[in-house]
Structure formats: structure tokens, C-alpha cells
Amino acid sequence: MPSFSIDLKEGKLHKDTDLIVGIDLGTTNSLVAYMKEGTTHAVKDRDGKSPLVPSVIHFLPDGGILVGDEAKAKLITDPQHTIYSVKRLMGKSYHDVEGFEQYFGYQIIDEDTESLVKIRVNDRFYTPVELSAEILRALKARIEAVLEQPVSKAVITVPAYFNDAQRQATRDAGKLAGLDVLRIVNEPTAASLAYGIGLHPDDNQTIAVYDLGGGTFDISILRIQEGIFEVLSTHGDTFLGGDDFDRAVMDFWMEQNPALKTQIEAGKGMSQALRLRAEAAKKQLSRSDVFEDTLDGFPLRISRPQFESLIQPLLQRTIDACRKALRDAGLSAADIQHVIMVGGSTRTPLVKSAVAEFFGREVYDKLNPDEVVALGAAIQADVLAGNQKDLLLIDITPLSLGIETVGGLMDVILPRNSKIPAKVGRSYTTSVDGQRNLKVAVYQGERDLVEHNRPLGEFILRGIPPMPAGLPKIEIHFILDADGILRVRAKELRSGVEQEVEMRSQYGISEEDMARMLIDSIQHAKEDVAARALLEARNEAQSVLIATERFLQQNEALFTPDESARITALAGDLAAAAQGTDKDLINKAMEDLNTYSAPLAHRALEANVAQALKGSKL
């Protein structure tokens, strides 16, 4: 609904065009952008210096909150009340961040390892969603001040590897900040849109997006077909970035000046000063050949070749990740048509040349690498606002989604790498006579047994009318929307009882966890297959036993006592085998029972047909 507002600058009343903004909610910096008359703008602060809002939140003694540059300044003076890198905690449990706590200067609360992390500041507890909401609120206030109009709709970007919980957490943060999050878009998708790649329906490409920021590195391979973006693969390192370049320069200077090293190790304040010098050196070396300065009388000098040899091993790690991403996508470097550079650290010339060399082509680096994701989000927002040709952005599920079936087996409904949005249905039935309730437990992962996968949630479909096992027809639908939020619907078709639940996973999952789950599934493939085979044999035995019992009851009159006794004995053997762990024994017992009962079943069928024909006219 368009509304009206007063343009204070012009003093005119004008129509609010229902502006949708694009937001890059980053680990180190965030920014907001919008599109007007076909041009994208990243919104700068009041003094017009920078569009980057440091993703830092500071809590003042009086309960007030600072966000951005002012909060960043408090990182050194008051670290306990200053929160940074909150994006790393989105949708995560304490269990997920265990071992990394010391990386955060603030207090992360361990209440219950399975529940979502909380951050303690003074006597209050904050969730990562609440903290991210503060950053989003600051961005909203910034653009509202600049455009002098209220803003309530946004497109927010997330890393391609974010799972459902992390996407949901990002949406929730938007909601808390008073923003209607129309879409969650993958960062590499946004970067490619910023370069106009994928905007036209006949634009079919395969591209690589190389994103090296301050503390994280991601490489994504995307395929774009008829305006549809598909993430073919992602790789990266959540603890690799420009900060490591700075550290390498610091170490280099300390090695050259043992006296400086002693001083740094003794006092704290100087280490920060040296870090700032190292970052300044790195930035200057993106433009010049040498950096020279002093710190407390110590000469600090570094040449570009020296710097380049320091960062070479770090760069090599990013190139190795590119190679893995290509391999996962089943492609080679020659298949990539465009390479897009994202993140402040791609300003380092050696980064660009190493990536260009690896892919064998020039990289896209004309847009500001800090702004490119937000600008792309603004373009997507403009498309959603109906100002551009329609674009459908699709992604893939990073891990398989499925439900638990009898015996603890994982039944995959939406396999890993499925395109989303997706709606998939499958039919199930009961395993026990008269079963009135059915538990639907949803899991994420690649292993064959649910106990090795991640539980996402469960619910019980109640009120199934009592029927013999195998008779109810229960349809389970998985509906995964474009933002990766999963709705699970269960419906018993005979009675019409139905239930639908939206899955909010209890805790998140990191990129490493995801990689580990994939590796685990490969390493345990053999035992998983064996376990699955045993469980499947047991399940089959169970249904054969139920069917046999029913068969005997219904057709008793047709069989001699010997025949009945023989079937009962064979069924007993099968029941005994099913208690054991030898699947071959189970299958053998099943075969024996089937072989013996097949002619009897045939006889029963003929008798039943004859009986049925008696009463009907032909």
C-alpha cells in the first residue's frame, strides 16, 4: 500500500513508493543500499564518509546502545560490553561454538549445550537475533534519515552456506528491527546481480564469486539459467581473511625487531597500535611499493614483494578452496565465465592476480568490493518492488532433509543439492495395528540412521482412525521456500486428519560441521549401508509376519492343521531371525516362509475369487 510522507528537504508532499532496501548484514561491517531510477546507492553516514557500519554493538552503563563506529571504538576500552562478530553466532548452539569461546571477547552463556547461545552483558542476556536486530535497526535509522521517509521492507543477504536455522534467525532479526524481510538472498547471488550478471533471462552463465573479507573467506560457484541462480557448490574458511594478513605483517616486524617484540609481549596497548600500523601498511601496499613508518622509535618497513611472500601461504589456502569448489560442482576452471571479487581484502593486487591466474581470466573488480553485496541486494529489492523484469532466485539445499522411519532409518525426502523452492511429497503408512498417532521426526544430514543426523524438530499426527497396520495412507509433504524455511505437512488421506508444522531447528550448524557431516557420511558409508540393510530386513520381516498372521486368521478353514502348523513354525523362525543381527539369516527365513506359503496363498486367492463370483451375475 503506497503511503504519503513529507519530503522535508523539498518541503513537498510526495508519494512513498514503497521502497524496499537491500541490506548486507556482515560479520565485520554491514551496509544498506537502495535503488532509485535505475541507479544503486550505498547509504553513507551523516558526514558522507563511508557506507560501512561496523557490525559492533556497545552497551552503555545507562542501558543505552551504540552501534557502528562509536561501538567499534569501545572494543579496546570496554571489551566486556562490546559485541562483535555476532553473525558467527546466528542460529548456533553453545555446542556449536565450543572451543571458539576465547575468540569472542564477551561472555557466551552455556546453559544447555543443545539450546541457542546467549550473550551476557551486565545482568541481561541477549540472543544473536536480538543483537543483529540492533545492527539492522541502526541501518534502518540511517537510511530513513538520509531519505527522510520511513523504510519497513528489506532484502537481507546471507552466506550461501547458511542453513535454515541461520536464515530463520536472520529473518527474525529483521522482524525485531521492524523490517519486513521480503527475501533472504545469498551473498554471491547478490554480488553477481550487482554486476548485472543474471538479470536477463537469456543470460546463461556459470560464475565464481570469491569473497575475502576481514575474517572470513568464501568461494561459491553459481549457475545462472534463465534468471535462475543455482548454487552449485560453496567452500571456504570461516577464520581466514584480511586480519590474518595484518597478523602476518605484525609478526614480520616483530621478527625484524626483537626489542619491539619484547615490548609488545610485555604491554597490551602497543600491540593494538602495531596492528593498526600493519593494516595501514597492507592497505598502502595495494597502491604503492613500500610502506615506511615508526612506532615508539622502532622503524617499521615492508616492501610489496616482502608482503606478498608473507601472504602467499594464506592465498594458497583460498586457491585450494576454489579448486575444491570446482571439483564439487563437477567443473574445471575453464567452465567459469566470470569471476567476481567481493570483500575488502580483494583490493590486494596479489589476491586479484592469483585468482585471475587460477581461473585463467580477468576478474570483475570494478565495483567497490565492500559494497557489491549490498548493491546487489538493492537490485533484488527493486525487482521485488516490481520495478524490473521479474527474477526468480533459487538456491539449493546444502544437506538432505528427511524423516525417521521404523528402526531409526533416515528416509530422505529432499535430497542434498535439491533446488529450492521445492515441494515434495511421499506416502507412508502405519506399522502397528490400530495405530492412532504417528510421530513425524524431521532430520537433516547424509547418514542412513537418524541418530547420526541433526534433529530439526518433530510433531505427532493424532487422531488416525484405528485401522490394521499398513492401511492408513499418510502423505508427508516437505515445503521448502525460497528462503530455505521448511514446512512439514502430514495428512492421513482416509480420515483427512492433517497437521502442519514449520521447522525451526533448535540450533545451527557451521560450514565446517556441514563439511564434516558430508565426510562422515562417506567414511561411514560401508557400515551405514550394512546397518540400513539389517534394519530394512527387520522391517520387512515385521510386515511379512503381520501379513502372515492375518493370512492365517482369514483363511484357516482352507488349510490342513499340518499346513497351518508349518506356516506358524516358519513364521517363528523368521521372528527369531529378526531378533538377531544377521540380515542374511532374516532374508533366508523370509524366503523360506514365502516359498512355503506361496502355493497356499494361490489356493486361498482362488477360493476367495470363486466365493466372490458366486454372488455376482456375469
Q: Which residues bind ligand AMP (CB under 6 A)?
A: 28-29, 213-214, 241-243, 279, 282-283, 286, 343-345, 347-348, 370
The residue to which cell 546471507 is assigned: 158
**Active-site pick, 172, 211, 243, 370:** 211
Task: Enumerate the β-bridge partners of residue 302.
Answer: 291
Question: Quick check: 367 and 33 in contact, CB under 8 A?
Answer: no
**Active-site pick, 72, 74, 87, 352:** 87
Q: Is 144 labeled as catalytic in the residue annotation? A: no
To the nearest whole angstrom, how small is the minimum distance from the Cβ of residue 28 to ligand AMP? 4
Q: Is 87 labeled as catalytic in the residue annotation? A: yes
Taking the least distance from each CB to ligand AMP, the nearer of 344 and 484 is 344
To the nearest whole angstrom, how small is the minimum distance from the Cβ of residue 346 to ligand AMP? 8
To the nearest whole angstrom, how small is the minimum distance from the Cβ of residue 290 to ligand AMP? 15
Question: How many of the other CB atoms lie within 10 Å of CB of 431?
Answer: 16
Distance in angstroms between the alpha carbons of the first and the last residue of the chain: 68
Taking the least distance from each CB to ligand AMP, the nearer of 378 and 442 is 378
Q: Is 211 labeled as catalytic in the residue annotation? A: yes
Question: Quick check: 278 and 246 in contact, CB under 8 A?
Answer: yes
Taking the least distance from each CB to ligand AMP, the nearer of 247 and 261 is 247
To the nearest whole angstrom, how small is the minimum distance from the Cβ of residue 132 to ligand AMP? 16
How far apart CA 231 and CA 224 sit, in angstroms, is: 9
Question: Quick check: 14 and 31 in contact, CB under 8 A?
Answer: no
**Active-site pick, 130, 164, 172, 187:** 187
| DSSP conformation class of 117 | P
Question: Quick check: 364 and 352 in contact, CB under 8 A?
Answer: no
How many residues does the structure list for the chain? Answer: 618
Taking the least distance from each CB to ligand AMP, the nearer of 159 and 344 is 344
Instruction: Give whole-number Cα distances, 106 to 53, 84, 102, 270, 448, in Å.
Output: 20, 9, 9, 22, 39
**Active-site pick, 24, 96, 164, 382:** 24
Q: Is 78 labeled as catalytic in the residue annotation? A: no
Taking the least distance from each CB to ligand AMP, the nearer of 198 and 214 is 214
To the nearest whole angstrom, how small is the minimum distance from the Cβ of residue 47 to ligand AMP? 19
Query: Exposure pattern of 319-355 as b/e (b: 16+ CB <10 Å)?
Result: bebbebbbeebebeeeebebbbbbbbbbbbebbbebb
Taking the least distance from each CB to ligand AMP, the nearer of 365 and 528 is 365
To the nearest whole angstrom, how small is the minimum distance from the Cβ of residue 50 to ligand AMP? 10
Closest CA to 482 of 421, 556, 573: 421
Single-letter amino acid, residue 124 = R
Q: Which residues form the catalytic set?
A: 24, 87, 187, 211
